[in-house]
């Protein structure tokens, strides 16, 4: 929902329904989404709340996730007061009395993990939040937070794509598998660089994705989504398209079957070197 606005050539409700028709039920928003550097804070949540108001039946079909902890100009605040205020404001904008998932958007190094754990746990115990997770946290930060929690962290949300392999290489995927955390991969198309490959590395990755796309009759984007989802940690690519047709094609992810050789060919192209 990062780019969820009312001026994308199709109605907000049409995009929500296109996602649901494609089998997409997880909707990932945040308090900061809609902010353009000067105003619009909470805009994406407000717009989604408007859709719920006009079509209340859609809410029950959705796993609703939001994030808090970014304050423009600060930039991060995970104090108890701020996160509680952020959650309340998010629910008011969305017009809901609970969310299925609340994630801390960015790590605030000035908040002790014990304080953050207490805040998150109280959110769940209040009934306002079904589960909690983190976004853009390091492995050490995840471990420290989990140490103080009596409930499991349900999710971690790193940037991951064939052009950003960090969580695959730094142990975050291994940690997620060990702790049974769902991985929500943001920017799965490398910020558009997979669709518009320019550098030698980007073109090399695109070539191998195109090979799978041609074999299974899907787009390069869907091939990239399926490559991400094929990892045993089962990362969930967060699709950011605002075009109903592009949203709808995400259902094609099930058509793609990666061989080990094909998957590793994409990885080696992404790494720019052969594996030993």
Kindly report, residue by residue over 160-185, the tens digit of the pLDDT.
999 999 999 999 999 999 999 999 99
Where does the pLDDT of residue 249 fall: very low under 50, low under 70, confident under 90, or very high at 90 and above?
very high
Is residue 191 a contact partner of residue 170, using CB atoms and an 8 Å limit?
A: no
* In the chain, where the domains are located: 12-157
φ/ψ of 129, rounded to 5, equals: -135, 135
| Sign of the alpha-carbon dihedral angle for 261, 266, 271, 272 | positive
Where does the pLDDT of residue 50 fall: very low under 50, low under 70, confident under 90, or very high at 90 and above?
very high
Whose CA is closest to 105, among 129, 78, 123? Answer: 78
Cβ neighbours of 106 (radius 10 Å):
19
Angstrom distance (rounded) from CA 158 to CA 184: 7
Average pLDDT value for residue range 133-152: 98
Q: Is 33 a residue of the active site?
A: yes
Where does the pLDDT of residue 6 fall: very low under 50, low under 70, confident under 90, or very high at 90 and above?
confident
Is residue 4 a contact partner of residue 15, using CB atoms and an 8 Å limit?
A: yes
Say whether pTM exceeds 0.85. Answer: yes
pLDDT computed for residue 216 by the predictor:
98
Check 33, 82, 148, 264 and give the catalytic one: 33
Is pLDDT at 7 greater than 80 in this prediction?
no
Average pLDDT score over the chain: 97
Q: Where are the beta strands (DSSP E) in 150-250?
A: 155-157, 182-185, 236-237
Average pLDDT value for residue range 200-212: 97
pLDDT tens digits along 53-100: 999 999 999 999 999 999 999 999 999 999 999 999 999 999 999 999
The SS3 of residue 173 is: helix
Is residue 145 a contact partner of residue 153, using CB atoms and an 8 Å limit?
A: yes
Where does the pLDDT of residue 221 fall: very low under 50, low under 70, confident under 90, or very high at 90 and above?
very high
* Least confident interval from 10-14, 115-119, 158-162: 10-14
pLDDT computed for residue 42 by the predictor:
97
Query: Going by C-beta distance under 8 Å and a sequence separation of 6 or more, which residues neighbour residue 253?
Result: 218, 222, 225, 226, 229
Is pLDDT at 9 greater than 80 in this prediction?
no
Query: Going by C-beta distance under 8 Å and a sequence separation of 6 or more, which residues neighbour residue 247?
Result: 15, 18, 19, 22, 24, 239, 241
User: What is the maximal distance between C-alpha atoms in the chain?
Assistant: 56
| Radius of gyration (C-alpha) of the chain in whole angstroms | 19
Class of domain 12-157: alpha beta
pLDDT computed for residue 177 by the predictor:
98
Query: Going by C-beta distance under 8 Å and a sequence separation of 6 or more, which residues neighbour residue 88?
Result: none
């Amino acid at each position: 929902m990062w780019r969820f606005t009312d001026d994308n050539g199709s109605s907000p409700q049409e995009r929500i329904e296109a996602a649901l028709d494609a089998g997409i039920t997880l909707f990932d928003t945040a308090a900061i989404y809609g902010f353009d550097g000067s105003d619009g804070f909470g805009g994406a949540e407000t717009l989604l709340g408007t859709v719920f108001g006009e079509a209340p039946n859609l809410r029950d079909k959705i796993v609703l996730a939001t994030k808090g902890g970014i304050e423009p100009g600060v930039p991060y605040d995970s104090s108890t007061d701020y996160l509680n205020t952020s959650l309340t404001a998010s629910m008011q904008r969305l017009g809901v009395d609970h969310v299925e998932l609340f994630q801390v958007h960015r790590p605030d190094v000035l908040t002790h993990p014990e304080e953050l754990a207490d805040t998150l746990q109280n959110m769940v115990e209040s009934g306002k939040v079904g589960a909690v997770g983190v976004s853009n946290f390091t492995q050490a930060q995840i471990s420290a937070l989990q140490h103080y929690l009596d409930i499991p962290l349900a999710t971690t949300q790193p940037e991951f794509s064939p052009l950003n392999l960090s969580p695959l290489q730094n142990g975050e995927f291994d940690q997620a598998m060990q702790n049974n955390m769902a991985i929500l991969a943001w920017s799965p198309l490398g910020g558009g660089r997979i669709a518009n490959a320019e550098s030698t590395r980007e073109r090399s990755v695109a070539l191998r994705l195109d090979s799978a796309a041609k074999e299974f009759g899907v787009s390069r984007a869907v091939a990239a989504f399926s490559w991400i989802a094929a990892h045993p940690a089962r990362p969930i690519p967060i699709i950011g398209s605002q075009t109903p047709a592009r949203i709808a094609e995400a259902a094609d992810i099930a058509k793609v079957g990666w061989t080990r050789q094909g998957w590793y060919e994409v990885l080696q192209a992404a790494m720019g070197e052969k594996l030993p």
